[in-house]
Amino acid sequence: MSAPATPELRRGLLVLGAVAAGAAALVALTWQAAAPRIDANVAARAEAAIAAVLGSVAFDNRLSATAQAPDSPAARQAGVEQTWVARQGTTPVALVLQISTADGYSGRIVLLVGLTPAGEVLGVETLAHRETPGLGDFIETTRSDWLGQFRGRRLGAPPAEAWRVQRDGGAFDAVTGATVTARAVTGALRRALVYFDTEGEALLQPADPQAAQP
Dihedrals phi, psi of 99, to nearest 5 degrees: -125, 160
Q: What is the pLDDT of residues 37-59, one digit of tens each?
A: 544 555 566 778 898 999 999 99
Cβ contacts of residue 149 below 8 Å, gap of 6+? 172, 173
Q: Which of 146, 152, 148 is nearest to 131 (CA)?
A: 146
Is omega for the bond preceding 7 within 30 degrees of 0, making it cis? no
Which pTM was predicted? 0.78
Mean pLDDT is lowest, of 10-24, 32-46, 97-111, 151-165, for 32-46
The one-letter amino acid code at 105 reads Y
Contact (CB, 8 A) for 147 and 154: no
* Residue ranges per structural domain of the chain: 63-212
CB atoms within 10 A of CB 132: 14
Q: What is the pLDDT of residues 10-22, one digit of tens each?
A: 676 677 777 777 7
